Structure 1
């Protein structure tokens, strides 16, 4: 009988890890980088069956099939839920750790194989194995097949878009179909997919700078949809640069009409 050393599992290289990078031990632990997931983050689920659809009931068959093959979900912009989700079936405990207490739940979206096929659900933080922020995705382009990158304009032009944003000293990352493919390796983007970007803007940006950035991005031969992420939510770069009297600020509690996305004062829509 061959005895396997107890530390052999810990010495596995990153190449042997199918989703590469460190994972959390399943359970109510803090995030690896000291933060909780935010909108557009990708979560690798250790127990995909623990997701609770917002519409109630069980996970549809297509969602189960997708999560078995690629257990990644995208964090939505909605409030997290503490304890058992209201008006939903009793949360299922993680089968890999019976002691895990799913106390904190995040709104997530499961991407289906068909265009527009989405499932909104709540995911327990106790069952999250790994998180990927949009800022971590651009460098993963080198992992994709070169022919695949060349055939998707939004992927091919990602470095050029990054240089444009870097000139304005903003942290950024791809989101949407491009971000999902970079993070998971699943080929969901198409030749007509727009390049969606999130631009971290915790401090105010002048409308002049926003207009210059929008014009520079519009010169790229691919549709670019960028949003400025403030401390209170997100506003479309094009809308902010156009200098309207009021803006639509997307917050976890719904859209809000504001004049200044960094100092929001205004009603929720």
Structure 2
């Protein structure tokens, strides 16, 4: 089992018995059905990992932690880029259209959010108005001009498409990086902060 887990990874092995006693009933139901949990950004003890339990409703999200020793399976967003799901839904049509575009850029990319959850688990999480959430692994800086070109491709889709650029220091929304603002919001396991360069946040002046 790989010890380095990243936000949006899906993990199996957590059971209702692992939940705190004050967890909502729907969270017990989800884990009782064998559903995976989603890795989230937060700091934890070395032997645990921050995760979220998804319910059937959009507002049903429960933050907790999971023992690494309980993990039985891991699926990363990049494992799902070419997974097939036969349902006539806008988010899936958007994924099919964007797949060759992203493959042609030679970047490591993947699917998260409701689309990724359903592709990985088979649990129906999508509906007609579902967004498509994508992850782009970007160890090296992406020019803002290229970011605008990529965003234009996403915005030509039949549904809302959101993409996170995963830098070595955290995640930034492509939509922000392609926008006019000089500073953008960078999220890591400890905080969210405004930076000028998500690939070199250490160069930010102290507030």
Q: Does the TM-score normalized on the shorter chain lie above 0.5? A: yes
Determine if contact 1:165/1:213 at 8 Å carries over to the other structure: no
Secondary structure of 2:201 counterpart: coil
Q: Which residue of 2 aligns with 1:138?
A: 81
Q: Which of 148, 165, 182 is the aligned partner of 2:119? A: 182
Determine if contact 2:48/2:67 at 8 Å carries over to the other structure: yes
In the alignment, does 2:72 pair up with 1:72? Answer: no
Q: Which residue of 1 aligns with 2:171?
A: 234
Tell me, in whole angstroms, the C-alpha distance in 2 between the residues paired with 1:51 and 1:261. 35
Q: Which residue of 2 aligns with 1:89?
A: none
Secondary structure of 1:139 counterpart: coil
In the alignment, does 2:102 pair up with 1:165? Answer: yes
Q: Deviations over 1:164-216 (max 9, x none)?
A: 22233211111111111111100011110011101100111111111111111
Tell me, in whole angstroms, the C-alpha distance in 1 between the residues paired with 2:40 and 2:165. 16
Structure-2 change in CA distance of 1:222 and 1:267 (3 Å): farther
Q: Which residue of 1 aligns with 2:26?
A: 62
State the TM-score, normalized to the length of structure 2: 0.92
Q: Which of 59, 66, 76 is the aligned partner of 1:116? A: 59
Structure-2 change in CA distance of 1:117 and 1:213 (3 Å): same
Determine if contact 1:257/1:267 at 8 Å carries over to the other structure: no
Tell me, in whole angstroms, the C-alpha distance in 1 between the residues paired with 2:190 and 2:81. 29
Secondary structure of 1:81 counterpart: coil
User: How far does residue 62 in structure 1 lie from its aligned partner after superposition?
Assistant: 1.8
Number of equivalences: 206
Determine if contact 1:228/1:236 at 8 Å carries over to the other structure: yes
Secondary structure of 1:187 counterpart: coil
Tell me, in whole angstroms, the C-alpha distance in 1 between the residues paired with 2:56 and 2:206. 34
User: How far does residue 124 in structure 1 lie from its aligned partner after superposition?
Assistant: 0.5
Determine if contact 2:93/2:158 at 8 Å carries over to the other structure: no
Q: Which of 126, 141, 144 is the aligned partner of 2:69? A: 126
Q: Which residue of 1 aligns with 2:5?
A: 37
Counting only pairs closer than 5 Å after superposition, residues 215-234 of structure 1 correspond to structure 2 as 215-234=152-171
In the alignment, does 2:190 pair up with 1:253? Answer: yes
Structure-2 change in CA distance of 1:208 and 1:111 (3 Å): same
Determine if contact 1:164/1:217 at 8 Å carries over to the other structure: no
Secondary structure of 2:72 counterpart: strand
Determine if contact 1:79/1:252 at 8 Å carries over to the other structure: yes
User: How far does residue 60 in structure 1 lie from its aligned partner after superposition?
Assistant: 2.7
* Structure whose CA Rg is larger: 1
